[in-house]
Structure 1
């Protein structure tokens, strides 16, 4: 599974970081960024989906 962020849509709420701090970080522009290339280990897939679903701006996508 792979995550992606449409940075221009991000509003900086930080829900993704609160739910999966090892997958997301806040950039200097107060918009979410992926940690690494966005590839998610199978053990972390549920948290990644939860973080994507929780994004109020719908800026996080999931590729299966």
Structure 2
């Protein structure tokens, strides 16, 4: 699984960071950033999906 952020959609709500702080961080522009290249290990996939679903701006894309 791989995650992508559509930066132009991100409004910096931080839901993804609250739900999966090991996958996301807040950038200097107050928008979410991926930690690493977006590849999600099997043990983290459920949290990644939850974080993507929780994004109010629908800025996170999950590629299975």
TM-score by length of 1: 0.99
Q: What is residue 56 of structure 1 aligned with on the other side?
A: 56
Q: What is residue 38 of structure 1 aligned with on the other side?
A: 38
The structure 1 segments of at least 4 consecutive aligned residues displaced by more than 3 Å after TM superposition are: none
Unaligned stretches of 5+ residues in structure 1 = none
Aligned pairs, how many? 64
Residues of 1 paired with 2:23 and 2:39: CA distance?
Answer: 9
The alignment partner of 1:58 has SS state of: coil
Residues of 2 paired with 1:11 and 1:44: CA distance?
Answer: 24
- Give RMSD over aligned pairs: 0.2
Between Structure 1 and Structure 2, the one with more helix by share is: 1
TM-score by length of 2: 0.99
